[in-house]
Amino acid sequence: MAKFNMSQEKVKMPEQDPNVRNKNFEEVAQGYTLEMAQEEAMRCVQCKNKPCMDGCPVSVKIPEFIHLITEGDIEAAYQKISETNNLPAICGRVCPQENQCEGVCTRGKKGEPVAIGRLERFVADYHNNLKYKKPVEVYANKEKVAVVGAGPSGLTAAADLAKLGYKVTLFDAFHTAGGVLMYGIPEFRLPKNLVNTELKNVIGLGVKLRTNVIVGRTLSLDDLKEKGYEAIYISTGAGLPSFLGIPGENYNGVYSANEFLTRMNLMKAYKFPEYDTPVHVGKKVCVVGGGNVAMDAARSAKRLGADVTVVYRRSFEEMPARAEESHHAIEEGINFMNLHNPVEIMGENGWVKAVKVEKMVLGEPDASGRRRPLPTGEYEEVPFESVIISIGQSPNPLIKHTNPDIETESWGGIIIDDTTMTTKDGVFAGGDAVSGAATVILAMGAGKKAAANIDKYIRNKND
Ligand SMILES: Cc1cc2nc3c(=O)[nH]c(=O)nc-3n(C[C@H](O)[C@H](O)[C@H](O)COP(=O)(O)OP(=O)(O)OC[C@H]3O[C@@H](n4cnc5c(N)ncnc54)[C@H](O)[C@@H]3O)c2cc1C
């Protein structure tokens, strides 16, 4: 075998045909074989300065794990990744690598970067499919720490604290852990059996999981302190959906993307009546918004057999969705009505009948750097039977309302200091609850940072 593979293109990953996959919920991307993974791994030139590692919020030892793939020692590659990342099968699938590790890969200067995400996914799947796994050692002989919110941020903090020997309890409001990984990201991008496997890996480190506990209702932060938790990490995400504030949003058939995706993913509505929760979309669905969440909602509705149109007020160029997501949506037959803004949802007998949209044009760039959409006064009524609103989420105000001593930004983000502590002593926070809606890997990076700070805080306190 040549020392390096100097091909300028990534080894392609097989995908389900768009006209087949838009009718099922199985995973779109099918993963590499060992041969494909090794061919791709040979594209890594093992640069000394390792820019990819700096681009990774959890500092995965990327060149080292890729080198182990070329040597055929896939389990060692897994162990290398899991030194810093407890959710590699998830990250390999959903991280926006183009803005992180792959965005700064040396090979990307001339051609495509090394397919780091695909390789991470390959290694994690290999490990997760092993029949025998070496048992992990559980220490849990130090102080008690509570983690509130079991999304990627909470899971990462919990895993790191457990590895440091703390007795960690992870609380979540839902009946299952995983956060957006479980209730938001669709099965066809992130299979839930795989999320469950990585959840079990975290629990296997000695973390206790308590579901159906809403902190702020079932238990307060002060209750947790009284129960002997020396520190608390809040990672409750940004699950409060925004609405358009236009007439007609209360008609039957109008969903927030959050509700629609929770019904589809967590409650398996696409398998109704085998599962209890139904979801009505009708024949024509309007999805409002142009981000990743909108693409997930549109692609999910398409799989229920509907004709789906994304209505977005700017042009394709300004669309915040990852290029891969909008590309997949187009391939699967989603329609796009760009430069249109809904101004009214129209109904009949209590149900959605149509959406009145205003045509927009682009003006000068706004604070986000994207060209501002301007109204034209030209309207159109488009028939739809359901509307899924996907224009953003913010942190749920429950923690703030039940703890006035925790300061928040005007938009709801929890304020933290350099040590990731909130304005309440011993209470730390991170992930989407602090940053607003962001990404899995940034939430994980915040969880890692908080775990290290909680360790310092407890050691200083008890010295
Ligand atoms: C549909 C969708 C698709 C996305 N796709 C991608 C993607 O492809 N790639 C990517 O990188 N990012 C994606 N994101 C963003 C990403 O999922 C989030 O940035 C990430 O999940 C944030 O992690 P977190 O742990 O901070 O919060 P979350 O994942 O939101 O988890 C928060 C957890 O806290 C629990 N909780 C909330 N309040 C309480 C309370 N009071 N008491 C107890 N528990 C509570 C919730 O039940 C939840 O389990 C997507 C987001 C959505 C909505």
Residue pLDDT tens, the chain, 463 long? 457 999 999 999 999 999 999 999 999 999 999 999 999 999 999 999 999 999 999 999 999 999 999 999 999 999 999 999 999 999 999 999 999 999 999 999 999 999 999 999 999 999 999 988 887 888 788 999 999 999 999 999 999 999 999 999 999 999 999 999 999 999 999 999 999 999 999 999 999 999 999 999 999 999 999 999 999 999 999 999 999 999 999 999 999 999 999 999 999 999 988 999 999 999 999 999 999 999 999 999 999 999 999 999 999 999 999 888 999 999 999 999 999 999 999 999 999 999 999 999 999 998 888 899 999 999 999 999 999 999 999 999 999 999 999 999 999 999 999 999 999 999 999 999 999 999 999 999 999 999 999 999 999 998 7
447 Cα nearest atom in ligand 1: 25
pTM for this model (two decimals): 0.96
Comparing CA positions, the residue from 147, 135, 144, 151 lying closest to residue 165 is 144
**Cβ contact 382:309 at 8 Å:** yes
Residue nearest to atom 10 of ligand 1 (CA): 439
Residues 6+ apart with CB under 8 A from 161: 145, 147, 168, 451, 454, 455
Ligand 1 pocket test, pick from 90, 101, 229, 236 with the greatest ligand atom count within 8 Å of Cβ, gives 236
Tokens 């750097």 label which residue? 369
Is residue 439 within 6 Å of ligand 1 at its C-beta? yes
**Cβ contact 13:121 at 8 Å:** no
Handedness of CA 34, 40, 42, 48 (dihedral sign): negative
What pLDDT score does 140 carry? 80
> Ligand 1 center to residue 100 CA distance, Å?
19
Tokens 């469950």 label which residue? 196
- What CA–CA distance (Å, rounded) separates 147 from 136? 21
Residues 6+ apart with CB under 8 A from 432: 151, 153, 237, 238, 393, 395, 438, 443
DSSP, res 139: -
> Ligand 1 center to residue 93 CA distance, Å?
16
Neighbours of 59 (CB within 10 A): 15
> Ligand 1 center to residue 136 CA distance, Å?
27
Comparing CA positions, the residue from 210, 104, 191, 94 lying closest to residue 152 is 94
Ligand 1 pocket test, pick from 440, 441, 449 with the greatest ligand atom count within 8 Å of Cβ, gives 440
Is residue 431 within 6 Å of ligand 1 at its C-beta? yes
Is residue 179 within 6 Å of ligand 1 at its C-beta? yes
Is residue 151 within 6 Å of ligand 1 at its C-beta? yes
Which token pair is 334? 């989603």
What pLDDT score does 138 carry? 84
Comparing CA positions, the residue from 55, 50, 59, 56 lying closest to residue 452 is 59
Instruction: Estimate to the nearest angstrom the gap between the alpha carbon of 77 and the chain centroid.
Output: 24
Handedness of CA 457, 458, 461, 463 (dihedral sign): negative
**Cβ contact 225:206 at 8 Å:** no
Residue nearest to atom 21 of ligand 1 (CA): 180
Is residue 174 within 6 Å of ligand 1 at its C-beta? yes
Is residue 440 within 6 Å of ligand 1 at its C-beta? yes
